[in-house]
Amino acid sequence: MGGKAEKGTPKYIANKIKAKGLQKLRWYCQMCQKQCRDENGFKCHTMSESHQRQLLLFADNASKYIDEFSKEFADGYLELLRRQFGTKRVNANKVYQEYISNRDHLHMNATQWETLTEFVKWLGREGKCVVDETEKGWFVAYIDRDPAAVAAMEAKAKKEKMDKDDQERMLEFIQKQVERGKKQATKFEEPSYTEFKREGSQERVTLSLNLKRKPEEKKSLATLSFKVKSKDNSDTMSTTSKRSKVVVKAKTALEEVMELEERAKEKANRKDYWLTEDIVVKIVTKSLGDKFYKKKAVIKKVIDRYGAEVKLIDEKLKVKLDQNHLETVIPSPGRYVRFVNGAYRGQTGILKDIDTDNFCCQVEISEGLLTGRLVKNVQYEDISKIAL
């Protein structure tokens, strides 16, 4: 009355549904690679002749079978780690759960390791992975031994070190310039006054006060000039306050420091990609049709730096586009904008003025340590309206 159910019958379909997916580990025989659905089935299997033959083979050379199972398990785990996670640091248990999701995987209880912790420690000792323990468990990072990958990683590390050294040297130079400017600004020399003597009775004295101030020198003192003219206009004397010269020189040094700082920031933050989440952009590609062309959208997600998932404003439509198909949106003065490229990349500011003739604008930074700084001559493509 027993036997296997015929194909297509309800019993056959029910058995297939029960067998689908993972089964309980305690009813799995690794030697025979057979999964039983319940305790009775597993008991019947252990009493079968085929199982007894496999046990005899295992008893003859137990270490050989365990070594083979251990190697197969380690190779499968590392292959999944390399293929799916690369060299990123990831939770070891997460990788293990991905590995055992395949119902034909090799079980750990057939290997030389009793727990996942022992296996992870073995990976660290063998130099196959970088392992560390945290409050959330053990984490692993795959070590790629491929010569091409090693060479690429070394080149990348060398480039990052060179860029870091250049930036550190520039910052050190800027710091020295700031300190020198501060010292010059604090050391003011007091003006010295001398007695004015007339050499002849026929000489004429003219006193003129030049009180005009230039816009960029509001802090400078008025220039006091004394002119002594004789009949033949041969003698002329002009005395200028030393203090005003010192103030102008100190301000020039500070301006030079600020310019160096701007150039350093520009070099570090100027990239060939500018997409940023939560900004308003305009779709400029005609390939999507009139429904999308010249429409404004909000960037919801940046994909691989050069692509983005955008959502049309006031609509539920979403589309993935390259940055070449998008452009920034300049709002009216008084609105908030975000720097998407250049020296102030990532900063938020308020648009103050727009120069339509030169295609640039002025933005006042509204957040962070640079709050209140007015940035002039900002190009249209370096800022974009923030989505509210």
**Model pLDDT for residues 109-139, shown as the tens digit of each residue:** 778 888 889 999 998 888 888 899 888 889 9
**Do 18-142 and 270-385 have matching folds?**
no
Per-residue pLDDT band for 234 (boundaries 50, 70, 90) equals very low
Is residue 191 over pLDDT 90?
no
CB atoms within 10 A of CB 42: 18
pLDDT computed for residue 231 by the predictor: 42
What pLDDT, on a 0 to 100 scale, did the predictor assign at position 225?
A: 40
Residue 318's beta-bridge partner residues? Answer: 311
Average pLDDT of the chain? Answer: 77
Range name among 20-29, 51-60, 328-337 with the lowest pLDDT average: 20-29
Q: Fold for domain 18-142?
A: Arc Repressor Mutant, subunit A (1.10.10)
pLDDT at residue 218 above 50? no
Give me the mean pLDDT over the 165-179 stretch.
Answer: 81
Q: Is 224 helix (H, G, I), strand (E, B) or coil?
A: strand
For the 270-385 domain, the top CATH level (class) is mainly beta
For the full predicted model, state whether its pTM sits above 0.75.
no
Between 91 and 315, whose confidence is greater?
Answer: 91
Residue 385 has pLDDT above 80, yes or no: yes
CA atoms of 108 and 123, how far apart (whole Å): 15
CA 347 – CA 335 distance, rounded (Å): 14
Q: Does 283 or 154 have the greater pLDDT score? A: 283
Q: Percentage of residues in the chain with pLDDT exceeding 90?
A: 20
Average pLDDT on 312-325 reads 87
* Distance from C-alpha of 232 to C-alpha of 114, rounded to nearest angstrom: 112
Least confident of 52-66, 268-282, 351-365, 367-381: 52-66
Q: Which pLDDT score is estimated for 203?
A: 55
The pLDDT value recorded for residue 140 is 92
Tokens linked to 372? 């209140």
Query: What are the C-alpha distances in Å from 365 to residues 130, 334, 335, 382?
Result: 43, 12, 12, 14
Higher pLDDT, 143 or 31: 143
**Mean pLDDT, to the nearest integer, of 263-286?**
89
Each residue of 347-370: b (16+ CB within 10 Å) or e? bbbebeebeeeeebbbbebeeeee
Query: Is pLDDT above 70 for 242?
Result: no
**Of residues 218 and 371, which shows the higher confidence score?**
371
Q: Which helix (H) or strand (E) holds 35?
A: strand 34-35
β-partners of residue 223 are 210
Is the confidence at residue 145, as pLDDT, over 70? yes
290: amino acid identity, one letter = D
Distance CA 38, CA 212 (A): 101
Most confident of 15-19, 98-102, 202-206, 265-269: 265-269
The torsion defined by the Cα of 261, 262, 263 and 266, in degrees rounded to 10, comes to 120
Q: Which residues, including other chains, have CB under 8 Å from residue 188's CB and lie 6 or more apart?
A: 243, 246, 247
Q: Which two tokens stand for residue 137?
A: 């468990």
Helix (H, G, I), strand (E, B) or coil at 374: strand
* Selection from 294, 268, 267 nearest residue 281 by Cα: 294
pLDDT (0 to 100) of residue 227: 42
Q: How far, in whole angstroms, is CA 12 from its chain's centroid?
A: 55
End-to-end CA distance of the chain: 73
The H or E element that residue 351 is part of is: strand 348-355
pLDDT of residue 182: 78
Q: What is the pLDDT of residue 226?
A: 38
pLDDT value at position 38?
74
The crossing angle, in degrees rounded to 10, of helices 147-186 and 242-269 is 170
Domain extents in the chain: 18-142, 159-187+242-269, 270-385
Query: What average pLDDT does the segment 350-368 reach?
Result: 91
